[in-house]
């Protein structure tokens, strides 16, 4: 098994995850759907840049096109449905 040399940031906010992906951050794996829960877990590599992007998002300073966000949300929802419904 390969050892990870980084910390994983788990995010359950679909809109934040879509913003991060639209901003160029990569998901570490397909979204995880938790049985009997209405949310998904999105995993990113935790970096100072990721944290800074999250701060911009919550401070309403996120410079990403709205249509790009919508398309990314649709892709994330489709990916989480097609990749299995478990952890």
State the pLDDT at residue 28.
94
pLDDT at 57 > cutoff 50 = yes
Q: Tell me, what's the pLDDT at 87? A: 42
**For range 74-85, the mean pLDDT:** 75
- pTM of the predicted model, to two decimals? 0.79
Maximum separation of any 2 CA atoms in the chain, in Å: 40
Q: Would the pLDDT of 85 be above 60?
A: no
Mean pLDDT on 74-78: 88
For residue 86, the model assigns a pLDDT of 47
């Amino acid at each position: 098994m390969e050892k990870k040399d980084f910390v994983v940031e788990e995010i359950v906010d679909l809109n934040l995850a879509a913003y991060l992906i639209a901003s160029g951050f990569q998901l570490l794996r397909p979204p995880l759907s938790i049985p009997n829960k209405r949310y998904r877990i999105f995993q990113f590599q935790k970096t100072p840049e990721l944290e800074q992007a999250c701060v911009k998002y919550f401070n309403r300073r996120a410079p990403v096109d709205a249509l790009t966000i919508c398309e990314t949300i649709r892709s994330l929802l489709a990916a989480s449905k097609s990749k299995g419904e478990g952890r």
